Structure 1
Amino acid sequence: MTVQILNYRTEGPASAPPLLLGPSLGTSYALWDKVAPELSVTHRVVRWDLPGHGGSAAGLIGPGATVGDLADLVLALADSLGIERFAYAGVSLGGAVGLQLAVDHPERVESLAVICSSAHFNGAKAWEERAERVRREGLAWLVESANARWFSGDFTVPELVRDHAEADPEGYAACCDALAAFDLRDRLGEISARTLLIAGRDDPATPPAQLREIADAVPGAALVEIPGASHLAPAQCPEAVLTALRAHLDGGAKRGMAVRREVLGDAHVDRAQDRQTPFTARFQDFISRYAWGEIWTDPTLTRRERSMITLTALVAHGHYDELAMHVRAARRNGLTPEEIGAVLLQTAVYCGVPAANSAFATAQRVLAEEDE
């Protein structure tokens, strides 16, 4: 039996860090048309459609749906693409999905950006009434006011208005049910992912005060307000949204660079940076972002333990120049010369005596240099 998943579009290198982009109610992944291609230079971008919107089947959710149901659909999509941990950014209902993912599945969310959204959407009554009327009359009455609800001034995006008109009423109404039931205000303090809030200063649906409420409750969260932006900021002010998202998403590389310097030392990292060329720049970014920003910062293992594993792996593969660097790193991470010797002795058993012989020679030289 084939399991249906959300309709989606991917952009960017398959090996790049994954970034999931969620849409607003009434739109499709076209909401991200002016932003996703730029983000795909450094990320594997996956943008998706809500049930009953764009190419997603309305039957993926039904009456009484919750934002948690939508979050489960996003996780199923990520699983189908082999994506375990990801950065996430979402607008309005898409932002609410991101908040739900961050509180219920913190191990999956690397970072979070919530755009023109809220931890609640002003109570259930208005959404219940909207859902009931959409089921009874369809969407024509709502499409007429789309520009006023979504954009400031005379700005419009005809493709998004068309998406609104073509949305399935049942799928749209089920999404309204999800908004009616949504309220995460008492759980915002549980969010551990790096979090950015982006507010449209002219947004009547989710005004800046609602984003500020989230920023005040989520530990370490940052808030950016975009002048001239209404509810669909990525469509109306894409450059401002891009600037904020790029700075936020770079946090992994910055954190990784800090850890890299702590473990390997400023002198080594400075030399690596000085040798960097346009040809090697993406590889250096990959090292800082993934190896140091994700693996070495994972609290499951201590840095001492990671040093011992790294020494063993380098001996096994005969990478003795790298071994010298990581003997120095092991000392910074608290290993004594005796402990380093014990690790290398273990490699003699499992990696071979010749490999361990070369490793001992390399380590002895490095330790002697440190003593001097």
Structure 2
Amino acid sequence: MTDTLLNHHDEGPTTAPPLLLGPSLGTSTALWDKVAPELSVTHRVIRWDLPGHGGSAADLIGPGATVADLARLVLALADSLGIDRFAYAGVSLGGAVGLQLAVHHPERLESLAVICSSAHFNGSKPWEERAETVRREGLAALADTANARWFTPGFTVPGLVEDHRTADPEAYAACCDALAAFDIRERLSSIGAPTLLIAGREDPATPPAHLREIADAVPGASLTEIAGASHLAPAERPEAVLAALRGHFDGYALRGMEVRRQVLGDEHVDRAQARQTPFTARFQDFISRYAWGEIWTDPTLARRERSVITLTALVAHGHYDELAMHVRAARRVGLTPEEIGAVLLQTAVYCGVPAANSAFAVAQRVLAEEDKTEG
């Protein structure tokens, strides 16, 4: 990172779909500590800090800053990481940045989640007054009231409160300027990205009505309200936020399960799902996302071609239980018994006669069972 870029934390496979996570005013990347590691199982997750917060330089923005300025910094960060299109989720001010991107830079956004945020933040006056107070007195007194503004009674995250206390006052005030000037209500209907709104039911800063207003205006948007959550829902109710974000962003898993059923059949997939345990759940999720959601959905090769490759690889490695399953799959995607036999004959040359001999025995049994069923 250089001083011209937002400080960020990058985790997850670099080849996975990118997901940028934006913070609330006064917090840092730590806001996402209980959510980001789980999201990084399926995404390349990039958390970023606001100017003057966490590790970001304070002079990235100045007095009179706008949410558009922050959105440009996010795009510069994405560009520096070689990321063109990305999914985005943001809390409060971070959510406003997401709305700004969706309206003014739709070509960059795959999908959007706006958490405990608003299309406007109750007018400019409260934010102008807060900016003036912070420039005059610093952040200590404001940080003392953070728990009441951020969390339900009795809950706190001391590290986030400390982030608030140690943020740069001038940069914090400039972010207040941005909130004061933000009102994107008239443009919400132009948002085309799939959009999820998440509201904390106990949030005094951006109550559910603010999120409902966005959901009503954005075509096709959905709204989730989280009980027992105030303004920093990812810190207070991480499991609920994670479930909502996974349901919204994990298109690969949904497509993968559909293709998995088409190729392997409902009966097989239902048995696999029935055998799933908490211990094997992440592996089953991995199979649906990557094998079926990314590889088998790639249009470069037809399913028949992928089936031929799969049969060959299974013979080469002696995975005969899997081979039986994929002989059935080969029939489902259109291979004839003669074509399956030709594939196995080819493996006798390149994988060895003993391997092919075992493979023919497996395939003959499977094909005979299918003939009996059809008869």
Pair 1:38-2:57 in alignment: no
Is the CA contact (8 Å cut-off) linking 1:71 and 1:100 kept in structure 2? yes
The alignment yields a C-alpha RMSD, in angstroms, of 4.9
Is the CA contact (8 Å cut-off) linking 2:260 and 2:292 kept in structure 1? yes
Pair 1:190-2:191 in alignment: yes
- Quote the residue 1:127 is aligned against: 127
User: How has the CA–CA distance of structure 1 residues 279 and 245 changed in structure 2, closer, same or farther, with 3 Å as cutoff?
Assistant: closer
Partner SS for 2:95: helix
- Quote the residue 1:213 is aligned against: 213
Q: CA deviation at 1:269?
A: 6.3
Partner SS for 1:69: helix
Q: CA deviation at 1:242?
A: 2.4
Q: Structure 1: how far apart are the matches of 2:29 and 2:16?
A: 20
- Quote the residue 1:204 is aligned against: 204
Partner SS for 1:47: strand
Q: Structure 1: how far apart are the matches of 2:64 and 2:244?
A: 38
Q: Structure 2: how far apart are the matches of 1:149 and 1:277?
A: 40
Q: Structure 2: how far apart are the matches of 1:120 and 1:296?
A: 43
- Quote the residue 2:52 is aligned against: 52
Is the CA contact (8 Å cut-off) linking 2:296 and 2:303 kept in structure 1? no
Q: CA deviation at 1:203?
A: 1.1
Q: CA deviation at 1:131?
A: 2.0
- Quote the residue 1:144 is aligned against: 144
Q: Structure 2: how far apart are the matches of 1:90 and 1:178?
A: 15
Between the two proteins, the alignment pairs up a number of residues equal to 356
Deviations 1:138-175 (A, max 9, x none): 22332232222112213222222221121112211121
Is the CA contact (8 Å cut-off) linking 1:90 and 1:115 kept in structure 2? yes
Partner SS for 2:19: strand
Is the CA contact (8 Å cut-off) linking 2:28 and 2:54 kept in structure 1? yes
User: How has the CA–CA distance of structure 1 residues 158 and 285 changed in structure 2, closer, same or farther, with 3 Å as cutoff?
Assistant: closer
- Quote the residue 1:156 is aligned against: 156
Q: Structure 2: how far apart are the matches of 1:271 and 1:281?
A: 14
- Quote the residue 1:243 is aligned against: 240
Shifted more, 184-193 versus 71-80: the winner is 184-193
Provide the TM-score with structure 2 as the length reference: 0.70
What letter corresponds to residue 245 of structure 1 in structure 2? L
Shifted more, 241-250 versus 72-81: the winner is 241-250
Deviations 1:285-323 (A, max 9, x none): 45643676579989xx99xx9779989x99xx9x9xxxx
Q: Structure 2: how far apart are the matches of 1:74 and 1:292?
A: 32
Q: Percent identity between the aligned chains?
A: 73
Larger Rg: 2
Partner SS for 2:112: strand
Q: CA deviation at 1:280?
A: 9.5
Deviations 1:235-289 (A, max 9, x none): 2xx44x4234334424531144235545886578679979999999767645643
Q: CA deviation at 1:99?
A: 1.9
Q: Structure 2: how far apart are the matches of 1:174 and 1:43?
A: 31
What letter corresponds to residue 31 of structure 2 in structure 1? L
Is the CA contact (8 Å cut-off) linking 1:89 and 1:114 kept in structure 2? yes
User: How has the CA–CA distance of structure 1 residues 78 and 174 changed in structure 2, closer, same or farther, with 3 Å as cutoff?
Assistant: same
Partner SS for 1:83: coil
Is the CA contact (8 Å cut-off) linking 2:96 and 2:118 kept in structure 1? yes
Partner SS for 2:196: strand
- Quote the residue 2:361 is aligned against: none
Pair 1:72-2:72 in alignment: yes
> Which blocks of at least 5 consecutive residues in structure 1 are unaligned?
320-324, 336-368
Deviations 1:201-240 (A, max 9, x none): 12111001111111222233222222222111222xx44x
Q: Structure 2: how far apart are the matches of 1:100 and 1:62?
A: 19
Provide the TM-score with structure 1 as the length reference: 0.71
Is the CA contact (8 Å cut-off) linking 1:67 and 1:182 kept in structure 2? no
Q: Structure 2: how far apart are the matches of 1:90 and 1:76?
A: 17
Is the CA contact (8 Å cut-off) linking 1:106 and 1:192 kept in structure 2? no
- Quote the residue 2:25 is aligned against: 25
> Which blocks of at least 5 consecutive residues in structure 2 are unaligned?
316-324, 335-369
- Quote the residue 1:8 is aligned against: 8
Q: CA deviation at 1:48?
A: 1.4
